[in-house]
Structure 1
Amino acid sequence: MTHEEHTIQAITKALPAVVSILIGKDEATVEKDIPKEIWDEIAKETKSEPDPPTHEEIIGHMPHVGAGKIQVGNGSGFIVSADGHILTNKHVVTDAAADYTIITTANDRYTAKVLARDPLNDVAILKIEADNLPTVELGDSNSARLGQSVIALGNALGEFANSASAGIISGLARFLSAISDDAKHSETLRGLIQTDAAINPGNSGGPLINLDGEVIGINAAVVSGAENIGFAIPINRAKKDLEDVREFGRVRWPFLGVRYMPIDAGTKKHFKLPIDHGLLIKGEKIPDYPAVLTQSPADKAGIRENDILLEINGEAISAEHSLEDALEKSEIGQTLKLKILRAGVEQEIQVTLEERK
């Protein structure tokens, strides 16, 4: 079979399970969300008209998802169970006040419920009430290889449903700081798959598949101003979330309970530290942002502000082995052995992880 035939076969296999996600809000809410400056500008531009449009008329001409609901955004997702579980990005469904409508490749419409938003990864799980839906097969993102052929599927630019773009894996284990919502909050995404397959606004949340039609990633982000640089969340991260939701009804993550900053040469100089590596346990100079959360596992284990975390279970903390990576590989109730530096003296502390609330 030729490469072209493999590509067509993979798309044909996975595409029926890819969905578009429409984000809707009440007309009154959208009207309130529009800044006064914009309304003033509209009034200025239309004041010479014989019959200037009212706010209600302007809102009424905006794209609607359903009766009384204005479409304020869109994204993609994919069905992972015949009874309606859907994976997408957390940033696609971050607004708890919005309604989410699913449109399948068969053009069927469903109202979706957000079952879980992963607190650490850009992953969310939705549910629609349906049976016998087409599903995708989840692959193994740990087997992804540099140069491997991949295909990004989704609702490109929010306009072109059932779009596919081919490329290769051009990087692995990438780190990226990305804007996560309309409020311009940022979050750090870790261990990403980099691809030159076109990932555009709108196909965020869609699947990144291999030539066997298996999902190995969730399309997540692009670098603004750059061409052919997109990123996907490894699918193995989402598999754990799915298992948790099915068993516990929520995503469960082990919790340590510290705020910290990575130490480098600049941090060492600024805080007059004895070393230039590890994590400095440090709170923020505002209320309710302590270095060690009260009654957290770290607090119970005796970790203090200005301790420097050096190792977890004998492995040094680094960019390649972060605290988040260690927690992701750990289980709730598991006891970890931490090496810290306190007042120039190395110590070992044992801490038992609890569930993140």
Structure 2
Amino acid sequence: MKKIRLNNKQNYIWLKIDAFFRKSTILDQLSGTKPATYLLLPLIGVGMAFLSSCSTDLSRNPQASRETDTAQAIQESATPNNRPLVPTPEDTNFVVAVVDKVEPAVVQINTARTVRREVPEIFNDPFYQRFFGQQVPQAQERVVRGVGSGFVINSNGQILTNAHVVNNADTVTVSFSDGRTVQGKVLGQDTVSDIAVVQVPTNNLPTVELAKSGQVQPGQWAIAIGNPLGLEKTVTVGVVSATDRSISDISSSDSRVAYIQTDAAINPGNSGGPLLNARGQVIGVNTAIIRGAQGIGFAIPIDTAQRIAQQLITQGKVEHPYLGIQMIPLTPEVKQRINNLPNSNIRLQAERGILIARVLRGSPADRAGLLAGDVIQEINNQPVTTANAVQQLIEQSGVGANVQMQLQRNGKTVQLTVQPGPRPATTE
């Protein structure tokens, strides 16, 4: 054991410590108790001094090293990465910025309509009235209420939403994020595109910024704000899953819209609310989901919604262009079947395009000279391979526009100009 020579000061300290312990021992013997509290404090002081003086030699004592590491880990875990346990700018992101920017312009739309249940005509017969007496059913009325979303597109109080949100409503009430509630009036609605515009008697409203939906790409961020199931100011985030989804993809019978698909959660009540990009610009109007599916929602591209809305604002209605043809995509199977028909003067040679199966008599297509068996290959110099693409191009052209068509008829290329007419209320 190595001897250590102490100087006068060190000798004085040790003498004090020795006297303290001697005194404590005598007190213990006299009282029969051990003053643990008082004994602990000096021992802790000595121990701390010991650990401190030996801190550079922990490698020789693995147990002490482990204890030191544990104490240090506990201390660091209290403030991980030295980060205070309070909100910091790092807790905000682009979604928070988008919500702050757009939420004042997003509204909740509440509707009410009265539904009357009529008595079957048979009960109006006096015979049945005498037979049933007081048990003859009476006409009944009930109020059906609905909730949806919308967003302000004009500071003068014009709000864009879905037609199915306000369809047949007797009253429309609009609630803003600041707590205001006002009565609204439906300026117009278009059931084909499912777009409606509501007017409220309020000025200087915050508005949204509109993007160009033609620039939307799969994979980009998508943020939905609305009132799903009546839960106000709900924000969901996802991505654009796909673009140009056709009407058949969501089982819509006659909607000429190329939908934006998103996996941002959309539920009943989100209808009419905005779908936004990472800059807080509206790229679409949330409108539909596939029942029973998860993460599959659809929005009307804002370019289409804006075009329809302007017609509703200025004219109160929308005229959709109409050709009067029935179409099917041309496939090898369809081509073979048509060419094998007996007593048919149609011989298909085209490998791609849209086959005209029928031309309605007196329709714009009939007047332009289109025939059953023609294969549409281009519209306004744009190749087409789906019936949905044909509908979209015709819809974009508008009523009365000169639409250039390139057809193939019995192996020959034919150029025709068609002027779409207004879509009739009923078609064959």
Normalising by structure 2, report the TM-score. 0.63
> Aligned residue for 1:297?
364
Q: 1:175 offset after TM fit, Å?
A: 2.7
1:282 corresponds, among 354, 357, 362, to: 357
User: Is the 8 Å Cα contact of residues 21 and 100 (structure 1) preserved in structure 2?
Assistant: no
User: Is the 8 Å Cα contact of residues 122 and 189 (structure 1) preserved in structure 2?
Assistant: no
Report SS of the residue matched to 2:393. Answer: helix
Alignment CA distance shift 1:156-1:189 (3 Å): farther
Q: 1:279 offset after TM fit, Å?
A: 2.3
> Aligned residue for 1:150?
222
> Aligned residue for 2:246?
175
- 1:78-157 superposed matches below 5 A: 78-93=151-166, 95=167, 97-105=168-176, 106-117=179-190, 119=192, 121-157=193-229
Alignment CA distance shift 1:206-1:347 (3 Å): same
Q: Distance in 2 between matches of 1:244 and 1:85?
A: 13
Verify: 1:22 aligned to 2:95, yes or no: no
Cα RMSD, aligned residues only? 3.3
Number of residues paired by the alignment? 311
Q: 1:140 offset after TM fit, Å?
A: 1.9
User: Is the 8 Å Cα contact of residues 256 and 395 (structure 2) preserved in structure 1?
Assistant: no
> Aligned residue for 2:21?
none
Aligned residue type for 2:311: D
> Aligned residue for 1:317?
384
Q: Distance in 2 between matches of 1:188 and 1:117?
A: 10
Q: 1:340 offset after TM fit, Å?
A: 2.3
Q: Distance in 2 between matches of 1:107 and 1:224?
A: 33
Q: Distance in 2 between matches of 1:116 and 1:343?
A: 43
Q: 1:85 offset after TM fit, Å?
A: 1.7
Q: 1:259 offset after TM fit, Å?
A: 2.7
Verify: 1:205 aligned to 2:277, yes or no: no
Q: Distance in 2 between matches of 1:12 and 1:136?
A: 12
**Identity in percent:** 34
Q: 1:244 offset after TM fit, Å?
A: 2.8
Question: Which structure shows the bigger proportion of residues in helix conformation?
Answer: 2
> Aligned residue for 2:287?
220
User: Is the 8 Å Cα contact of residues 256 and 392 (structure 2) preserved in structure 1?
Assistant: no
1:73 corresponds, among 127, 134, 146, to: 146
Alignment CA distance shift 1:225-1:26 (3 Å): closer
Q: 1:317 offset after TM fit, Å?
A: 1.6
Unmatched segments (≥5 aa) in structure 1: 34-53, 61-69, 284-290
Q: 1:160 offset after TM fit, Å?
A: 0.9
Report SS of the residue matched to 1:92. Answer: helix
Verify: 1:231 aligned to 2:304, yes or no: no
Residues 208-236 of structure 1: CA deviation (Å, up to 9, x unaligned): 11233221111122222222222211111
User: Is the 8 Å Cα contact of residues 301 and 351 (structure 1) preserved in structure 2?
Assistant: yes
Report SS of the residue matched to 1:329. Answer: helix
Alignment CA distance shift 1:347-1:198 (3 Å): same
Residues 226-251 of structure 1: CA deviation (Å, up to 9, x unaligned): 22222211111112223333444433
> Aligned residue for 1:166?
237
Alignment CA distance shift 1:347-1:204 (3 Å): same
Q: 1:356 offset after TM fit, Å?
A: 4.1
Q: Distance in 1 between matches of 2:170 and 2:223?
A: 29
Verify: 1:4 aligned to 2:4, yes or no: no
Q: Distance in 2 between matches of 1:160 and 1:265?
A: 51
> Aligned residue for 2:133?
none
Bigger Rg, structure 1 or 2: 2
Q: Distance in 1 between matches of 2:170 and 2:352?
A: 45
User: Is the 8 Å Cα contact of residues 118 and 251 (structure 1) preserved in structure 2?
Assistant: no
Aligned residue type for 1:278: G
Aligned residue type for 2:163: K
User: Is the 8 Å Cα contact of residues 196 and 312 (structure 2) preserved in structure 1?
Assistant: no
Q: 1:315 offset after TM fit, Å?
A: 2.9
> Aligned residue for 1:196?
263
Q: 1:266 offset after TM fit, Å?
A: 4.3
